[in-house]
Amino acid sequence: AQKITQTQPGMFVQEKEAVTLDCTYDTSDPSYGLFWYKQPSSGEMIFLIYQGSYDQQNATEGRYSLNFQKARKSANLVISASQLGDSAMYFCAMREGQAGTALIFGKGTTLSVSS
Amino acid sequence: DAGVTQSPTHLIKTRGQQVTLRCSPKSGHDTVSWYQQALGQGPQFIFQYYEEEERQRGNFPDRFSGHQFPNYSSELNVNALLLGDSALYLCASSLLVSGRNEAFFGQGTRLTVV
């Protein structure tokens, strides 16, 4: 079974609109972390936001917020006020267990922002 | 403050050859992880090094090996290259004992096997 599922291969949005990128995960470990990364065409993976399994509140980092629904095992990324520079590939990833263990990535969602 | 740096950025090798990729972690980081990203896919974990030892390994054959040096930099070696080894190889660094969760990635090495 896939550990991280991103069901949207591509998303299209206009500038200044909000967009939600979906991510569901599967783990039996009570301690885990969820990450979102952005990968522009240059290839570098850019860390966006982190949510721990025991965190009570949804994580926010500037225009990024994570809609964490633990019972549904979902961790959707919300980008408010999209910008042209947000066009990129977005990956959801999970760490199981203690900090420092390997990241498990989904297949990604391509976001295209138009003017 | 230099981030994670990888070299070379691009590489073309022939089937059966051997290749070495290099990674310098972000200043202050002690842990290096390597990932393979095939075209159109998410990265897959190869292995992780901490204190010059392989700490964790993904589902990759023994043709993939690595090393970490006392200055925390790392190498990824791939022997007997196959066409399927063509991919973007990403290095990520982190500080293990801090409990912080961010892994910072380099820009990657794009390996093409012909």
Interface contact B42-A106, CB threshold 8 A: yes
CA-to-CA separations, A42 to A11, A45, A87, B19, B59, in angstroms, rounded: 20, 9, 12, 22, 27
- Residue A43 predicted with pLDDT over 80: yes
Q: What pLDDT, in 10s, does the model give residues A45-64?
A: 999 999 999 999 999 999 99
CA distance B10 to chain A (A): 12
- Per-residue model confidence (pLDDT) at position B1: 61
For A61-109, what is each residue's pLDDT tens digit? 999 999 999 999 999 999 999 999 999 999 999 998 776 778 999 999 9
Is the CB of A44 less than 8 angstroms away from the CB of B102? no
Query: What residues in B contact A50, CB-CB < 8 Å?
Result: 101-102
Cα A3 to the center of its chain, rounded Å: 14
CB burial class (10 A; 0-12, 13-18, 19+) of residue A7?
Answer: exposed
Distance CA B13, CA B26 (A): 28
Is B41 near chain A, with CB under 8 Å? yes
- Ordered mean pLDDT values, 10 residues apiece, chain B (114 residues): 90 98 94 95 95 94 97 97 98 78 88 98
**Residue A71 half-sphere exposure, CB side, CA atoms within 13 Å?**
0
Sheet of B64-68, strand order: B5-7, B19-24, B74-78, B64-68
Chain A residue numbers touching B92 (CB-CB < 8 A): 45, 103
Report how far Cα A110 is from the mean position of its chain's Cα atoms. 12
Q: Which two structure tokens, joined as six digits, stand for A99?
A: 């900090």
